[in-house]
Chains A and B, each alone.
Chain A
Amino acid sequence: MNPELIQAAADNPWMAIAPEIALAGLALLLLVAEIFLPKSKHGLVPSISVAGQLGILVGLLVNWNGASVGQPLFNGLLMPGAHTQFLRAFFVASSLLVSVLGVVALAKQKMPKVEFFVIVQVVSAAMMLLSQANHFVLMFVALETVTVGFYILVSYVRTNPLTLEAGLKYLITGALSSGLLLFGIVLLYGVAGNPTLPGSSADSMNFDALYGFLQANPGNFLASLGIVLVLSGVAFKIGAVPFQIWIPDVYQGAPTPVTAFLAVSSKAAGFAILLTLVNVFSPYAGLVATVIAIMAAATILFGNLAALTQHNVKRLLGLSGVSHAGYLLIGVLASLTVPVAASAIYFYLFAYLLASFAVFGVMTHVAGENDADQELDHYTDLAKTNPFLGGILAIGLGSLAGIPPLAGFMGKLLVFMTVFAAAGAPVGPLTAGCYYGLLGVAIVGVVISIYYYFGWIKAAYFDTWRAPLLEGETDPTPARTPVACWMRLTLGLLALASVVLGLYQGPVAGWLLLR
């Protein structure tokens, strides 16, 4: 080929989003495959999905440095930054793992199987775009693609009333939060598009233009209101207090792979967009810092305290996920003054992905036909009857609790260290004492969390006694699904990665921290 053609291909913005296109294209391919394959071959569809996603992930990793970093695409709709390459790989990996869990979990339900994979992939592609958004229109469209996809996924098992309830609750609270977000966007668009104000722009939904306007107009009331409302909308995604209220019900009702998807990808997408927005809003750092600091403290305390008394493991994970959002929020606060905090957050999210999928993987095998009914009691005896699942569970929960030498510990340590560093230059009305106070709250939260995480491990390892069944009583513990060979491999790799990353962070942390 002649070099001009290659140059043209490289300059083509569509090439830059090839992974997203491939992922969505794969989704269409699955639909086509379903139509043309005979019914007996429908079992192939999940395999095609997993193999295709694996291929995309490998392609992304191979072309790691091929991205046009720092070049605005599509007239500034997208801005591939230094971290977006990591996030894209993160979302593809998460999508892949959700699909793997889906294969196990859907086998227990009498539901159509293909749509699940299709929607997961489309949602993931939207998240990948979301992480690169540089414009409110693209951000909102991508976000709605994600949210609408989740409405379907949460209520996927239509035969289960709890799932339907969860779907309805997610729909209404999600719509409400989208409303808040949109209202905020409109306010910002309006005020930044006002030609009588300095720094106004015709394209005021563009983040760069908005940043310029906010810098030129400190203390504008409408702008601060817009900022707060936009932050509220994002807070819903990450499950920060007071917008966390939907989490336990929805997490419990949603099928387990979807819960994992919500817990990992949706939360990570929320933090990706939050980190972008915090940069855009940085001229109003005082306001942003206050809002985030208050939310973070409330989120850590509330998430941990509420998780303490849960018996249903999905609710427990949901509320513990709320507390993780709180730890990450103080990292976001630190990122206002210490840019490296963003890297710490991404490391934390990666450790969280490894540990969460390990735990959710165990859960899909312990759960029975009624997916919403997953109690701590069901884990009695697990370590004895299935030491493999017991071991994975212990590593996953240990990493979530932040026990050294697992990856979760290093994630917490990195985030807390950046907060400690940020205390040297407090923002706005906050004092250094506020940062130390937040760290104190976070450490208290971690201590509380050890109680419920280890309560779960205790159930699996030490509670070996079961009450004998009375006559006519059926065993309330669902039968455990045998672990397939490829699932063993997946879970084993996740646990191994948690251990290795806890002992030696070199490649991942090195790459993240250098940027």
Chain B
Amino acid sequence: MSVQFIALLTLLTPLASAAIIALFLRKQGTLASIVSTLAAAVVAAGSLTLAFGGSRFGADLGAPVAIEWLKLGDLSISLGFLYNDLAALMLSIVGVVGLCVHVFSLGYMHDDSAKARYFGGLSIFMFSMIGIVLADNLFMIFIFWELVGLSSYLLINHYCLKQSAADASKKAFITNRVGDFGFLLGIILCYYAFGTVNLVEIGHASTAGTVVAAAIPLLLFCGAVGKSAQLPLHVWLPDAMEGPTPVSALIHAATMVAAGIFMLCRIEPLFAAAPAVALQTVMWIGAGTALYAALCAITQSDIKKVLAYSTLSQLGYMVAAFGLGSIEHLHDETKTVVILSAGVGAAMFHLTTHAFFKALMFLGSGSVIHGCHHEQDIFKMGGLSKKMPLTFITFTIGVLAIIGMPGLAGFFSKDAILYLAMENNTPVFVILTVTAVLTAFYMVRMWKLVFLGGTRSEDADHAHEGGASMTLPLLVLGLLSVAGGYEAIYGGHFDGVLKQVAHPHGAAHVTILIVSLAVMIVGAAGALLFYKSGPADSLQQKVPGAFAGLNVLKASFDSAYGYYVAKVQQRFALLLNFLDQILIAGLIVRGLSGVVGLFGLAARALHTGNLHVYVYWFLAGAVILWALAAGTL
């Protein structure tokens, strides 16, 4: 099998699975879950074979795979693959985490009444996500971008009888529309500027010294703001936790929300060729999101909401890391190559480790929720370390990884970002450090409330470990959360990305080490000392002012958008509706259709059914044409 064929197989297997489930297995949930999980296994096998087989392909890498799909005049849209180290890394993450989530879902969704719909949704998501990863042009990315949006909508809305789930799915979809509008404008502008939307050709054009308007990368960044839930479009992600927990792990933690960062890394040459303001905007939005979300996470009492805000915060970290990358001119022997050094490496490295430990924690929380009969309030849990030892151990690894315990995955990637910030921008370094303190604080708070102390509700008393299908993925991801920070496990196959990760040396190394250790200890100790294992929030009791302040901060965006929608947009819509009813529906549509209908009646009346009349028609027609030929008409 050629490598291109394996890539195609990896892309199309989940689609086939989704089609089979939608057409034939809608009522057979168990069979559907097996088909979908097998498809995920094929994806995982395919992605790892491709990545560690060492083959890379695409326009510049030899063996390009592209078919011309649509050609209209000068506009030619082709479908093709660009499989470089970046895509290989992302595809491996999607494959591995996807398989873990599928296997976990076998146990978690075991009793669900709409299992077939759920697994069909997972398959269509896998297809769309792999499409984004492999696509070699922005247009194709956009198609799959919308498809992941659709599958995310379907899966958030899985419990569609719950009003909150329905609302959340609509919110996610509409908020993403806002970002995608900018993304689409960016693609159009890109085509206008370069005459192509192919990633490789754009790369050539922008490294050839063309100055790119800052608007192009910034508009494309809008897509990432929506999909990766950055300020100010972050509002949908916490609500999206209404979906089943494995979905939150796969889509809203590890892969889809990271697609925004992946896309930024794909269009890196555009940022390199644009004025520095573009990159700085990205950096500030990322840093702002990181801090804001960490502040919001402190007051959450729902275990999934804490993880959601933590995801937001970590995504902000990645976006900031991308923005911190400095533009460097590397001199090849033939041409000058402009790349964003370090930023892409740090962002993708953190994306990778985060995918492992955040998926681990989400699946762990799924295990907890499943064990406690769908109780999600951390104040009603407690003492689960004894009831669910395996979940406890793996979850603890996840927490230690995210707060940056030396030796675990998160430590390396977070340090890379902090080092980059320290070197390049002190204010951002301060923001990210504070965020790291907060991260340690709220993570340890949640960990303590859930697992330590005594049980605080009947559900928690009866908590139990799930079956092997639920614990196995936890173990795999736990292992990756430990080992994911060591470059050795990547075997040098992703050097195109990971070699860009900046490593501090000498004094800087010591500084970073001290800072990150201090950050972790301050945050964790604060939480351990401050929170008691009790049914109420210690912060709310002791410092009600701060608690209320944080809640207002969290709600501020929602209430602002709510005000805008209710007071501005709704009134504008009323006005438009009025115009629509009177002018468009009344005058234009009804009027025009009436006139056309009259003509139609007249035309119909000509068909009298009388043969004599028909013969006269023919003769009249012949005479008219005769007159034409004679030149009298």
Which residues of A have CB within 8 Å of B628? 228, 287, 290-291, 294
Contact status B604-A310, CB under 8 Å:
yes
A229-B622, A249-B609, A290-B628 known; A308-B614 Cβ under 8 A: no
Which chain A residue shows the least CB distance to B601?
Answer: A309
Contact status B597-A169, CB under 8 Å:
no
Which chain A residue shows the least CB distance to B68?
Answer: A506
Residues 161-209 of A contacting B (Cβ, < 8 Å)? 168-169, 172-173, 176-177, 180
Name the segment of A66-74, A238-246, A362-370, A470-478 touching the other chain: A238-246
CA A178 to CA B366, docked complex, whole Å: 79
Minimum CB–CB distance for B288 against chain A, Å: 41
Q: Is A327 an interface residue (CB 8 A)?
A: no
Q: Is B508 an interface residue (CB 8 A)?
A: no
Which residues of B have CB within 8 Å of A465? none
Which residues of A have CB within 8 Å of B604? 306, 309-310
A308-B600, A309-B604 known; A221-B630 Cβ under 8 A: yes
Contact status B621-A305, CB under 8 Å:
no
Minimum CB–CB distance for A486 against chain B, Å: 20
Q: Is B596 an interface residue (CB 8 A)?
A: yes
Minimum CB–CB distance for A301 against chain B, Å: 8
Q: Is A504 an interface residue (CB 8 A)?
A: yes
Q: Is B1 an interface residue (CB 8 A)?
A: no
Which residues of B have CB within 8 Å of A232? 621-622, 625
Residue-wise interface mask of A (413-449) relative to B, using a CB-CB cutoff of 8 A (1 in contact, 0 not): 0000100000000000000000000000000000010
Contact status B620-A173, CB under 8 Å:
no
Minimum CB–CB distance for B621 against chain A, Å: 3
Q: Is A224 an interface residue (CB 8 A)?
A: yes
Q: Is A227 an interface residue (CB 8 A)?
A: yes
Minimum CB–CB distance for A285 against chain B, Å: 14
Give the contacting residue for B618; candidates A176, A287, A506; CB below 8 A: A176
Minimum CB–CB distance for B584 against chain A, Å: 15
Give the contacting residue for A287; candidates B599, B603, B609, B629; CB below 8 A: B629
Which residues of B have CB within 8 Å of A242? 617-618, 620-621, 624
Residues 362-402 of A contacting B (Cβ, < 8 Å)? none
CA A229 to CA B626, docked complex, whole Å: 8
Which residues of A have CB within 8 Å of B622? 180, 229, 232
CA A241 to CA B597, docked complex, whole Å: 19
Q: Is B615 an interface residue (CB 8 A)?
A: yes
CA A202 to CA B449, docked complex, whole Å: 106
Q: Is B5 an interface residue (CB 8 A)?
A: no
Minimum CB–CB distance for A280 against chain B, Å: 16
Which chain B residue shows the least CB distance to A509?
Answer: B71
Contact status A173-B618, CB under 8 Å:
yes
Contact status B596-A305, CB under 8 Å:
yes
CA A168 to CA B615, docked complex, whole Å: 13
Which residues of A have CB within 8 Å of B615? 172-173, 176
Minimum CB–CB distance for B479 against chain A, Å: 43
Which residues of B have CB within 8 Å of A31? none
Which chain A residue shows the least CB distance to B613?
Answer: A245
A176, A221, A232, A305 — which one has the most chain B CB atoms within 10 A of its CB?
A305
Residues 121-161 of A contacting B (Cβ, < 8 Å)? none
Which residues of A have CB within 8 Å of B620? 242
Q: Is A270 an interface residue (CB 8 A)?
A: no
Q: Is B505 an interface residue (CB 8 A)?
A: no
Contact status B618-A309, CB under 8 Å:
no
Interface size on B, as a range, is 20 to 34
Contact status A225-B621, CB under 8 Å:
no
Q: Is B69 an interface residue (CB 8 A)?
A: yes
Residues 520-573 of B contacting A (Cβ, < 8 Å)? none
Which residues of B have CB within 8 Å of A173? 611, 614-615, 618
Contact status A245-B617, CB under 8 Å:
yes
Main secondary structure of the interface of B (DSSP, over half): helix
Which residues of A have CB within 8 Å of B331? none
Which chain B residue shows the least CB distance to A222?
Answer: B629
Contact status B630-A225, CB under 8 Å:
yes
Which residues of A have CB within 8 Å of B618? 173, 176-177, 180, 236, 242-243, 245
Contact status A248-B607, CB under 8 Å:
yes
Which residues of B have CB within 8 Å of A176? 615, 618
Contact status A169-B596, CB under 8 Å:
no
Which residues of B have CB within 8 Å of A503? 69
CA A154 to CA B596, docked complex, whole Å: 32
Contact status A305-B603, CB under 8 Å:
yes
B67, B607, B609, B628 — which one has the most chain A CB atoms within 10 A of its CB?
B607
CA A306 to CA B596, docked complex, whole Å: 10
Q: Is A302 an interface residue (CB 8 A)?
A: yes
Q: Is A231 an interface residue (CB 8 A)?
A: yes
Contact status A306-B625, CB under 8 Å:
no
Residues 456-515 of A contacting B (Cβ, < 8 Å)? 503-504, 506
Which residues of A have CB within 8 Å of B69? 503-504
A228-B625, A242-B624 known; A169-B611 Cβ under 8 A: yes
CA A173 to CA B620, docked complex, whole Å: 13
Which residues of A have CB within 8 Å of B593? 451
Residues 46-92 of B contacting A (Cβ, < 8 Å)? 67, 69, 72
Which residues of A have CB within 8 Å of B614? 169, 172-173, 245-246
Minimum CB–CB distance for A307 against chain B, Å: 8
Which chain B residue shows the least CB distance to A235?
Answer: B621
Which residues of B have CB within 8 Å of A305? 596, 599-600, 602-603
Contact status B607-A249, CB under 8 Å:
yes
Which chain B residue shows the least CB distance to A219?
Answer: B631
A168-B611, A227-B629 known; A302-B617 Cβ under 8 A: no
Contact status A228-B607, CB under 8 Å:
no
CA A243 to CA B616, docked complex, whole Å: 11
Minimum CB–CB distance for B23 against chain A, Å: 12
CA A246 to CA B610, docked complex, whole Å: 10
Which residues of B have CB within 8 Å of A227? 629
Contact status B625-A231, CB under 8 Å:
yes
Residues 333-384 of A contacting B (Cβ, < 8 Å)? none
A242-B617, A243-B618 known; A306-B600 Cβ under 8 A: yes
CA A227 to CA B630, docked complex, whole Å: 11
CA A229 to CA B619, docked complex, whole Å: 11
Minimum CB–CB distance for A411 against chain B, Å: 15
Minimum CB–CB distance for B592 against chain A, Å: 10
Contact status B607-A245, CB under 8 Å:
yes
Contact status B621-A228, CB under 8 Å:
no
CA A166 to CA B626, docked complex, whole Å: 28
Contact status B625-A291, CB under 8 Å:
yes
Which residues of A have CB within 8 Å of B596? 305, 308, 448
Given contacts A224-B629, A235-B621, 16 further A-B contacts (CB under 8 A): A168-B611, A169-B611, A172-B615, A173-B611, A180-B622, A221-B630, A229-B626, A232-B622, A245-B618, A246-B614, A249-B609, A305-B602, A306-B600, A306-B603, A309-B603, A310-B604
Show the binding face of A for B, using Cβ within 8 Å: 168-169, 172-173, 176-177, 180, 221, 224-225, 227-229, 231-232, 235-236, 241-243, 245-246, 248-249, 287, 290-291, 294, 302, 305-310, 417, 448, 451, 503-504, 506
27 sampled A-B residue pairs with Cβ under 8 A: A172-B614, A173-B614, A180-B622, A224-B629, A225-B629, A228-B629, A231-B625, A232-B625, A242-B618, A242-B624, A243-B617, A245-B614, A248-B607, A249-B607, A287-B629, A291-B628, A291-B629, A294-B628, A305-B596, A305-B603, A306-B604, A306-B606, A308-B597, A309-B597, A310-B604, A417-B72, A503-B69
Show the binding face of B for A, using Cβ within 8 Å: 67, 69, 72, 593, 596-597, 599-604, 606-607, 609, 611, 613-615, 617-618, 620-622, 624-626, 628-630
Would you list the 4 A-B pairs with minimal beta carbon distance, nearest first?
A242-B621, A308-B600, A306-B603, A228-B629
